[in-house]
Chain A
Amino acid sequence: GAVVSQHPSRVICKSGTSVKIECRSLDFQATTMFWYRQFPKQSLMLMATSNEGSKATYEQGVEKDKFLINHASLTLSTLTVTSAHPEDSSFYICSARKRDRGTETQYFGPGTRLLVL
């Protein structure tokens, strides 16, 4: 199997603070991880692609200085929401890409629910 974990599962913070979310691939190495955001009753929206050892690639409209991504190892990517505001409240989900015998599949973490007061 392929297991991806996220921590924390939920976080409540005050406006203006920074929040760090961790995404780990537990039983495989992932050179590429992805960060998504999901609003209620909507599909997943890709925020950025996290590449091990290099800069992340952000989707149009996503502020790279606000959503800092670090992919320092083959099993860990972090997303830091800097100076969070209420409009940043959402469900953040990461995924990790697994390569296996010429095929590629993405496995998702359980998500992190962020509430900014």
Chain B
Amino acid sequence: GQQLNQSPQSMFIQEGEDVSMNCTSSSIFNTWLWYKQDPGEGPVLLIALYKAGELTSNGRLTAQFGITRKDSFLNISASIPSDVGIYFCAGADTGRRALTFGSGTRLQVQP
């Protein structure tokens, strides 16, 4: 079945630093989504990517849909304490409407 490898599993950084995380897949996806989940809450959509090679920004967040359609990365610039949480990548293809999730990246920001 489809698998998403997300790395790193966790990061502990200082406020103001930039962060990068990525996901790779064993198969092709037509959509890549990045979510953030706070403790006890549902995931919140950060960025949606629909085309190979697409680079999209949302404030301090930037994400790219890999050319091969098998990978994506998320960058957070100038991190702040409220960036703390778990970030999940998710992929979708046309044949299977449900999302396949990465294992998550736990981000901690030291003020």
A residues with a Cβ closer than 8 A to B are 4, 6, 32, 34, 42-44, 46, 49, 91, 93, 95, 97, 103-111, 113
Contacts and interface: CB of A to CB of B under 8 A. Distances in A.
A105 B42 CA distance: 15
With most chain A CB atoms within 10 A of its CB, the pick from B33, B35, B48, B98 is: B98
Given A43-B88, A44-B88, A105-B48, A110 B41 contact: yes
Please tell me the size bucket of the interface on B. Answer: 20 to 34
Given A43-B102, A43-B103, 17 more contacts: A4-B42, A6-B42, A34-B99, A43-B101, A43-B104, A46-B98, A95-B42, A103-B31, A103-B50, A104-B31, A105-B31, A105-B33, A106-B33, A106-B45, A106-B90, A108-B44, A111-B40
Given A103-B50, A104-B92, A105-B33, A44 B97 contact: no
A95 B92 CA distance: 14
A20 to B, nearest CB: 18
23 contacts: A4-B42, A32-B97, A34-B98, A34-B99, A43-B88, A43-B102, A43-B103, A44-B43, A44-B101, A46-B98, A49-B98, A93-B43, A97-B97, A105-B33, A105-B45, A106-B90, A108-B35, A108-B42, A108-B44, A110-B41, A111-B40, A111-B41, A111-B42
